[in-house]
Amino acid sequence: MGHAFVVPFEYVLEERQIPIVPLFVNVYVPPLPQPHRAYQLGRAIAEIVAERGERIAILASGGMSHYPGTEKYGYPDFEFDQYLLQVIERGELSSLLSLSSEKLDEAGETELLTWYTVFGAIGNTRGQVLSYQPTWHHGLGVIDFPLVMPLEGAPPLGPLPKAMDTSSAGYRYYKFPEPESYNLNRLLYALRMNADERQRFVQNMDGMFTEYQLRIEEMAAVKTLDPLKVAKAGAHPILAWTAVHLVAADMRAQGLGMEASKPVSDS
């Protein structure tokens, strides 16, 4: 499982053998779920939890402002983070439904969609900010929502704000790749998900370029092992960022440089 699950498991659960139901929320590949949809999902979870006899905790992981794989990676929107934290501390969680997923994309806050699921489950509960750490590429917030009583179903639902109008341009940073770059993204997905494919790539980079029918500019971008250049060539930023770093790590582990892109001869 990815770091969004593994990190909370290690630092929150530690060695305790607690049953887990992992729930994936799409936060980077459009069309993203709108906050209203994630909020309603949380309400459904609260109804299910209320029917159970166990003591159950709901945990949302995901960062605050950051833009991995884009030119804004080193420039998080810390001011927007502070705005969110203030709203959460006031217990005005439902007011954040005025933000669309496109707006969250613009502010580097798409991972907040997992938080909206918790918001829906607990309603307008005041949050306690345990910590906030601005780093060079990421805002890191940890928040607790202490409940006076366990959930007995979804909280009463009052009028909810409508999402603000968005521009016709749609997503600013994590746009869906153009059809022309399908082969590039297909290769990156294979490299991201399959260690054997990465090994083949490290040993014969040019051969896999031919196999996946990459365009000249795409091949040049991938050979730089620079995620931003790969994204600008047409890759989805997250896919470029993860796949390229895995390839680079494999090459370092084997003591290989860019000469590994040449086919290995029989001699």
Does a structural domain hold residue 41? yes
9 plus 134 within the same structural domain: yes
Tell me the pLDDT of the chain averaged across its residues.
Answer: 90
1 and 22 Cβ atoms separated by less than 8 Å? yes
Domain boundary among 144, 165, 188: 144
Does a structural domain hold residue 167? no
Considering only CA atoms, which of 98, 148, 102 is closest in space to residue 125?
A: 148
Residue 216 domain boundaries: 179-261
121 plus 12 within the same structural domain: yes
133 plus 49 within the same structural domain: yes
What is the distance between the alpha carbons of residues 256 and 249, in angstroms, rounded to a whole number? 10
For the segment 215-242, the average pLDDT, to the nearest whole number, is: 96
Does a structural domain hold residue 87? yes
pLDDT value for 165: 61
Does a structural domain hold residue 149? no
Considering only CA atoms, which of 208, 214, 204 is closest in space to residue 262?
A: 204
Question: Tens digits of per-residue pLDDT, 41-96?
Answer: 999 999 999 998 888 889 999 889 999 999 999 999 999 999 999 999 999 999 99
Does a structural domain hold residue 64? yes
Does a structural domain hold residue 159? no
113: three-class secondary structure by DSSP: helix
72 plus 130 within the same structural domain: yes
Q: What is the DSSP letter of 9?
A: I
139 plus 252 within the same structural domain: no
Does a structural domain hold residue 162? no
pTM flag (> 0.75)? yes
130 plus 11 within the same structural domain: yes
Domain boundary among 144, 167, 193: 144
38 plus 136 within the same structural domain: yes
What is the distance between the alpha carbons of residues 36 and 39, in angstroms, rounded to a whole number? 5
Considering only CA atoms, which of 145, 141, 138 is closest in space to residue 90?
A: 145
The yes-or-no verdict on residue 167 having pLDDT over 70 is: no
The yes-or-no verdict on residue 265 having pLDDT over 60 is: no
131 plus 239 within the same structural domain: no
Question: Tens digits of per-residue pLDDT, 100-133?
Answer: 999 999 999 999 999 999 999 999 999 999 999 9
The yes-or-no verdict on residue 155 having pLDDT over 50 is: yes
Does a structural domain hold residue 48? yes
For the chain, how many structural domains are there in total?
2
Question: Tens digits of per-residue pLDDT, 238-260?
Answer: 999 999 999 999 999 988 765 44
